[in-house]
Structure 1
Amino acid sequence: MRIPRLRPAAALLLVPLLAGCFVAAPGDPYGDDGGAGSGGGARLRVALAFPPAENYSPYGMDAYDLSRLGVVEGLTRLDANGTAVAALAESWYAEGNGRDWLFALREATFHDGTEVTAAAVADSLTRAALAEPPPGALSGIRLTAEAAGDRLVRVSTEEPDPVLPLRLSNPSLAVFAPSAFTGDRVNPAGTATGPFVLTTTTGDTAASLDRFDGYWGGRAHASGVDVRYISDGTARANALRTGEVDVAEAVPVAQVPALDPDTVHEINTARNTSLYLNTSTGLFTDAALRAAAREAIDTAAVADGVYEGYAEPAQGLYGPALSWAAGLRGAPTGRTADPAEPDGAALTLATYNDRPELPETAQVVQQQLERAGFTVRLEVRGYAQLESDLLAGAFDAAVLSRNMMLETGDPVTVLASGYTCEGSFNPALLCDPAVDALTEAARAEAGPAQRQQAAIRAEAAVLGTDAEIPLVHLKVVTGIRPGVTGVVLDPYERELVGAGTRR
């Protein structure tokens, strides 16, 4: 029996937080015409910047590759304005206590041919909630899920969570068939629900996807996707220039002048490049030395010298793509230490080369710190080789790039995962009682305006610790060959190839 559609929860969701540019092509099930192609369709050739670091585990950053390639879906997705809209769930509402939400499922099929049922969805979400470490979208949240009918799922949190539909849009909370769960890992190959099926992988260098003819949104225009992971930005741009790939993400700004202008597509994002200082071990446990590092940094030199107009000097954690932030922002709070003289204090500064501007940015930062009196050793790796050591505190400082709205589209969620004692991705290893208290207070706010104001108060406390020194707010350039349509230019960097993408 088909479950009646539930009343949409629009009044309970956050108002748009981010204006963006999702380009919907004919055939995109999230676009205007609602159907996809039925022909054979050429295969797409795509170059991604970040190789899988965890064997395509959906509970970490690899989930974003699976999402950008159209493999996985959750109950909801984010639209261009940062609002949660229907995906595998057609509609939803919050029950009276604010802790329980009911989601009505659309009729859909997993890649293995089994039906998307309430029991399968509940099991998939429960397994994600029990993962160690938990997905960033669940930082500080205890989530449970249960079937409430054949096509109804009840998702509950320990405390009221006004942004749960936004949270469930995160790729790390994608829904998988029961067959995905074998042993102690999740196998996303042939077990998800998106328009493309992950069929083969070649280590961390390549992958192949085939069109899923049973996709609920209609058959994708492309018959499949051939993916190459090309960490080197120049090589990625060259692959686009020579016609080896149809789409290349994160084209280096230094390569833009050498490309055909018709292939260059830029978009403002909520992504920052920042200098993170290890507050847990080493010399930057000293707040006075962190203050000295902050005073040494010239953000304009980074924006002008490295990013050549594709970035702005940072004003805080939330950049100009989030128009509400600038009007609310005040001075950082909680600073208690004056800058100390570094006196040659030695430190290791790390970054990764998957984003080609980062090594150059790190070199500029290195020079600025050395002029201030620090002794700096720079270490550059691929991100897959960097992350575990970074989160283990192996470096004194790191230059990293992060989309502040990546996890949910909610400005508070990233605070919980990135800056609190229990945060799941906390590069500075920050553990500050004031930051934790303000973040907890922000999480308790239900109204969008109040939530934004609380996020800015927590931002001020984070900046006051000097654990993170924001450098620039970024634009992202995607390379797309002429004749290729339907590529999704997503400010959240979750989507790239969809059912409507074709050549």
Structure 2
Amino acid sequence: MRLPARRLLPLTALSAASALLTGCFTGDGSASSGADGKRVRVAMMQPPRSGLSPLSDDAFKLSRWSTAETLVKLDATGDAQPALATSWQQSGRTWSFEIRDGVTFHDGTKLDAEAVVRSLTKAATAAPKPRILDGVELTAKAADADTVTVTTATEDPLVPQRLSSPQLSILAAKAYTGKTVNPLGAGTGPFELTKVNGTSSATLDRYDAYWGGKAKAPGIDVRFVPDGTARAAALRSGEADIVEAVPVSQAALLEKDLVTEVPMPRTNTLYLNTEKGVFKDASLRAAAREAIDAESIVRGVYEGRADVAEGLLGPALPWADELREPVTRAKAGDPAGRTVTIGTFTDRAELPEVAAALQQQLQKAGFKVKLDVREYANIESDALAGAFDAFILSRATVLDSGDPAAYFYSDFASDGSFNIAQLSDPSVDAALKKAGETPTGDARRQAVIAAEAAVLATDAAVPMLHERVIQGDAAGVVGAAHDPRERELVTAATYVK
């Protein structure tokens, strides 16, 4: 559903966007162009947090700019497809990958098995590991110049999907010569990262020797604009061609033809602390669940631009709803005025509003509610340490593998690395183990839904709504990616008229 434009943005918002974007895009607000066309100007939400190291979440920026690539990519259904590897086969705990011939890194060096082993080994031995390797022991060896074997401690049917993670991008040797991984001029994609200006901007130029064919745009100019109003205003004023993560509050103010919405595998969830405090009591977790009116949050906070959750997995994974069955949960107890503290963060514009709405709903049910709202970087450690009774999180449910089992394990296993609910439940652990070991396909999907049911039965997490990708594309933009998994944005096929 798209809402009609209701009013123009105020001049102050346009001015703010101009101030934030000055220095990356040309001063007159038009895209710079040469004999071979216009450069693509992109306004992105979050600045780099780790110097664009692919071992961090910054990896997704490298992927969205088409500068760093992986051995495998995922299709729309989450199945593995060839990328820098052309084929693969499994033999027990070992997978063999054939490396694509004729690929060069942006520094001119050749992609071969040794280069792949170097990148995968760096990721597998990093501290902390990329989250896609959470609980996975992985070693890579060169069988010959064009073949890499990847071996895991136990049989893992998900190895190809894991290797699609942007955090396992394959970079040139030069990227690993310093204390941190530096992707500058070290990728294999259609665009070469040529300049990074801290947390302000980045510049990419077309790499004409790209193995997949010459990109249509001569380059990409990126500006990091955390303020959502400024990002939306930049699209209206013509200072940006593509704007990611348009806030719901701004989407309705843009011309409808400039806005695209795609259901994404991201769920807005209330995690309840099962280890200590008020919500250690299952009946009070049930009381919190029954108090939540997700439909009113979708209408009031998201202006209808989200989907009410039936489970942890949403419409971006249509098979989930087809397989899901009713879950038996605990009966609600009496909150009796007990005080709970809910944490969340400001980085996603809607979450503080969601927190305020939940505060009212839970108070109406008999709880006393305090809110603790900070920037994500300043609150994540407290959330993971169980410092809150509840925490509101906008969580990607397929993480980097395109498979929900990794998300379920990370968030709900007793030893999961992102277990904000502090859940330790043998039945949940057993269901997660089965889901992780089941081969890909229908059987694995059934096991994943069984794991979802096991988690929901504990009320450790109350799914509220499923978000949508809201992206702004200027009228002259052709071929911008609208990716539910937020891995692609500007591709070799993207250009500006």
Change (3 A) 1:195 1:229: same
Aligned residues: 463
Question: Which piece of structure 1 moves more, 481-490 or 387-396?
Answer: 387-396
2:69 matched residue in structure 1: 73
Does 2:468 match 1:475?
yes
Tell me how far 1:342 sits from its aligned partner.
Answer: 2.8
Tell me how far 1:348 sits from its aligned partner.
Answer: 2.8
1:342-389 C-alpha deviation (Å, 9 max, x unpaired): 333333322233332222222111211222222222233333443333
Q: Which among 373, 378, 403 is matched to residue 410 of structure 1?
A: 403
Alignment TM-score, normalising by the size of structure 2 = 0.88
Structure-to-structure mapping, 1:76-91, within 5 angstroms: 76-91=72-87
1:406-456 C-alpha deviation (Å, 9 max, x unpaired): 321123222122221232333323332221211111112115111011111
1:107 matched residue in structure 2: 102
1:166-192 C-alpha deviation (Å, 9 max, x unpaired): 111111111122222245421222222
Classify the secondary structure of the residue corresponding to 2:404. coil
Unaligned runs of 5+ residues in structure 1 are: 1-37
Counterpart Cα distance in 2 of 1:184 and 1:389:
28
1:42 matched residue in structure 2: 38
1:181-210 C-alpha deviation (Å, 9 max, x unpaired): 245421222222222223333333322222
Classify the secondary structure of the residue corresponding to 1:186. coil
Counterpart Cα distance in 2 of 1:391 and 1:193:
35
2:30 matched residue in structure 1: none
Tell me how far 1:458 sits from its aligned partner.
Answer: 0.7
Counterpart Cα distance in 1 of 2:205 and 2:389:
43
Change (3 A) 1:257 1:239: same
Counterpart Cα distance in 2 of 1:147 and 1:66:
25
Classify the secondary structure of the residue corresponding to 1:412. helix
Classify the secondary structure of the residue corresponding to 1:144. strand
Counterpart Cα distance in 1 of 2:275 and 2:44:
33
Instruction: Report percent identity of matched pairs.
Output: 51
Question: Which piece of structure 1 moves more, 278-287 or 479-488?
Answer: 278-287
Question: Which piece of structure 1 moves more, 45-54 or 434-443?
Answer: 45-54
2:366 matched residue in structure 1: 373
Counterpart Cα distance in 2 of 1:440 and 1:236:
42
**Aligned 8 A contact 1:39 1:221 in 2:** no
1:168 matched residue in structure 2: 163
Counterpart Cα distance in 2 of 1:380 and 1:301:
21
Q: Which among 447, 453, 459 is matched to residue 452 of structure 2?
A: 459
**Aligned 8 A contact 1:442 1:451 in 2:** yes
Does 2:329 match 1:331?
no
**Aligned 8 A contact 2:345 2:376 in 1:** yes
2:443 matched residue in structure 1: 450
Change (3 A) 1:277 1:232: farther
2:303 matched residue in structure 1: 308
Change (3 A) 1:191 1:405: same
Unaligned runs of 5+ residues in structure 2 are: 1-33
* CA RMSD of superposed structures (Å): 2.1
Counterpart Cα distance in 2 of 1:325 and 1:165:
22
**Aligned 8 A contact 1:312 1:474 in 2:** yes
Partner amino acid, structure 2, of 1:429: Q
Structure-to-structure mapping, 1:177-256, within 5 angstroms: 177-256=172-251
Counterpart Cα distance in 2 of 1:490 and 1:170:
15
Tell me how far 1:70 sits from its aligned partner.
Answer: 1.5
**Aligned 8 A contact 1:99 1:159 in 2:** no
1:322 matched residue in structure 2: 317
Question: Which piece of structure 1 moves more, 240-249 or 181-190?
Answer: 181-190
Change (3 A) 1:151 1:441: same
1:360 matched residue in structure 2: 353
Counterpart Cα distance in 1 of 2:424 and 2:251:
40
Counterpart Cα distance in 2 of 1:230 and 1:377:
30
Tell me how far 1:318 sits from its aligned partner.
Answer: 1.2
Does 2:56 match 1:64?
no
Counterpart Cα distance in 2 of 1:282 and 1:401:
23
Partner amino acid, structure 2, of 1:441: K
Classify the secondary structure of the residue corresponding to 2:284. helix
Classify the secondary structure of the residue corresponding to 2:381. helix
Counterpart Cα distance in 2 of 1:288 and 1:57:
44
Counterpart Cα distance in 1 of 2:399 and 2:316:
13
Counterpart Cα distance in 2 of 1:44 and 1:460:
44
Tell me how far 1:124 sits from its aligned partner.
Answer: 0.9
Partner amino acid, structure 2, of 1:271: R
Structure-to-structure mapping, 1:4-153, within 5 angstroms: 40-95=36-91, 97=92, 99-153=94-148
Partner amino acid, structure 1, of 2:90: A
Partner amino acid, structure 2, of 1:59: L
Counterpart Cα distance in 2 of 1:207 and 1:394:
36
Change (3 A) 1:67 1:316: same
Question: Which piece of structure 1 moves more, 464-473 or 275-284?
Answer: 275-284
Partner amino acid, structure 1, of 2:397: M
**Aligned 8 A contact 1:104 1:151 in 2:** yes
**Aligned 8 A contact 1:346 1:374 in 2:** yes
Change (3 A) 1:128 1:429: farther
1:78-98 C-alpha deviation (Å, 9 max, x unpaired): 122322111111122223x25
**Aligned 8 A contact 2:260 2:471 in 1:** yes
1:347 matched residue in structure 2: 340
Counterpart Cα distance in 2 of 1:385 and 1:214:
42
**Aligned 8 A contact 2:399 2:406 in 1:** no
Partner amino acid, structure 2, of 1:105: R
Counterpart Cα distance in 1 of 2:49 and 2:198:
10
Question: Which piece of structure 1 moves more, 417-426 or 62-71?
Answer: 417-426
Partner amino acid, structure 2, of 1:279: T
**Aligned 8 A contact 2:40 2:221 in 1:** yes
Q: Where does structure 1 differ by over 4 angstroms across 4 or more consecutive aligned residues?
A: none
Tell me how far 1:68 sits from its aligned partner.
Answer: 1.2
Q: Which among 255, 259, 262 is matched to residue 264 of structure 1?
A: 259
